[in-house]
Structure 1
Amino acid sequence: MHVRAPAVVCASRPNGETAVVARLLTADHGLVAGYVAGGRGRDLRPVLIPGNLVEAELRARSDNQLPFARLELVQSRGPWLGEPLQSAAIVWVTALTASALPERQPFPALYEALTALLDAVCLAPSARDWTLPLLSYEVLLMRELGYGGPIERPQSEGWADLLTVFDRLGRDLARFPLAHRRVDVMAARAMLRERLAKIDGA
């Protein structure tokens, strides 16, 4: 196995004293796990922030082995870690992606949608501008996995109606793609929901 491609960092977990196993979403190879030597060190920790866009090179002797990964930072989401709404949205969508998708199955539409959504979360003037795209991404993910249909549009453009749709969709996510996950990924969505509720007019 030898893959070199742009990727979105979706998750990482410690492996041994200094390494991590990163889960990366690529357009053509889907979600791929890779062993990052020194991933817990000072130089690579900023590269492994969820939501970061990286250039990834993954090598393994066979498709059954965990590949070694070398990552080059292309675009960092680090500047938004201190922003409550943006950081909560980034943590949620990357955790959802890492937890719900099967490994090494290509989902090019999801890759394009996720990169566009992350840009919107970081660059849009307010959360009102990216909440509906976030819900659209969740629906696309469920549809790509064989669940659900078109997004249920809010009855009006009011913030309360949008949050009602947010809650209904959350129940579908918990019931279907995340039903058998051991880690409570939905806790990240609950935190995002709590912060969205504090927006004026909610």
Structure 2
Amino acid sequence: MEWTDQGIVIRVRPHGESSAIIELLTPEKGRHAGLVRGGRSKRLRGVLQPGNQVRATWRARLEDHLGYFEIDAADPFPAELLDDRLAISGLNASCTLLSQVAPEREAHPKLFDAFSTLIANMDQPDIWPALMTRFEAGLLAELGFGLDLRRCAATGVEEDLIYVSPKSGRAVSEAAGEPYKDKLFLLPEYMRGGAPNLKEGDVAAAFALTGHFLERWVLWPSDKQLPEARAEMLERLERAGRL
């Protein structure tokens, strides 16, 4: 068995004295793990870092084996951001989440493109937190749990949608949701598409929304929780005034 594809490194763990087992997010194979011989060497250590885009060739005797990767560097995570703790916290949170929930060995080109876009904007702290909430909403959709934000779950209207039901993941209009607003999630306007027009508190509300459904629909059924790296990112964003 053999294939070659581009991929973004999302996890690296040591294996033996000099090798590493890595996970890549690829367009055509989804999340895919493999052994890299010499992956802890000086030559490859800098290449095999989360957020780096690589060219990978995977080989195995049988399709269900772990297999081996041969790795060529392609597009590294921007070096100027390696000392940016806020950007690194976002990278760690997104990589850890993908390692937990991204479908293994399934083609998800939209998910790959969305993650590539998120990484490409990590140098813009005014933009990437909102992009990440959209990325998490897109991840839910790719997993088959997309939020329905097109019309009100109660009345069918498509205007004044400012809430989301915590049970159904469907939008609720201002009028229909007023009696129950304390039990509903806020729906920032930018989460419905179009150019972000952020108001204070929008990003925090969006992270609360996507986090709830990632836990409820994806993680809890597998006895998992949202990664600690995500909570650490939210703490840093709050301290930086980015929520």
TM-score greater than 0.5 by the shorter chain: yes
Per the alignment, in what secondary structure is the counterpart of residue 121 of structure 1? coil
The within-5 A match list for 1:151-162 is 153-154=187-188, 157-162=198-203
Question: Per the alignment, in what secondary structure is the counterpart of residue 42 of structure 2?
Answer: coil
Q: How far did 1:128 drift?
A: 2.0
- Distance in 1 (CA, whole Å) between partners of 2:131 and 2:50 is 19
Where in structure 2 are the equivalents of 1:16-55 lying within 5 Å?
16-55=16-55
2:223, 2:61 → 1: CA distance? 30
Any idea what SS the aligned residue of 2:7 has? strand
- Count residues with an aligned counterpart: 198
Q: Distance in 2 between matches of 1:165 and 1:200?
A: 15
Q: Deviations over 1:38-86 (max 9, x none)?
A: 1122221111111100010111111021111011111112622211111
The one-letter code of the counterpart of 2:36 is V
Which has the greater radius of gyration?
Answer: 2
- Residue 57 of structure 1 aligns to a residue in which SS? strand
State how 1:59-70 maps to structure 2 within 5 Å.
59-70=59-70
Do structure 1's residue 194 and structure 2's residue 235 form an aligned pair? yes
User: Does the 8 A contact of 1:19 with 1:35 survive in 2?
Assistant: yes
TM-superposition CA deviations, 1:154-195 (whole Å, max 9, x none): 26722323212212322222223232366x652111011011
Paired residue for 1:141? 139
Structure 1 segments of 4 or more deviating over 4 A? 150-153
Equivalences for residues 81-160 of structure 1 within 5 A: 81-122=82-123, 124=124, 127-150=125-148, 153-154=187-188, 157-160=198-201
Does 2:177 correspond to 1:176?
no
| Residue pair 2:126, 2:242 contacting (<8 A) in 1 also | no
Amino acid at match of 1:65: H
Which residue does 2:10 correspond to in 1? 10
Higher RCO (CA 8 Å, separation ≥ 6 residues): 1
Distance 1:192 1:135 in 2: 12
Quick check: 1:24–1:31 contact (8 Å CA) kept in 2? Answer: yes
CA RMSD of aligned residues (A): 2.0
**Separation in 2 of the partners of 1:49 and 1:185?**
22
- 2: CA distance, partners of 1:82 / 1:176: 35
* Whole-angstrom CA distance in 2 between matches of 1:38 and 1:178: 33
Structure 2 counterpart of 1:193, which letter? L
Match of 2:159 in 1: none
Asked if 1 retains the 8 angstrom alpha-carbon contact of 2:9 and 2:51, the reply is: yes
- 8 A Cα contact 1:4 1:57, kept in partner: yes
Contact 1:174 1:186 in 2 (8 A): no
* Aligned residues of 1:2 and 1:57 also touching (Cα < 8 A): yes
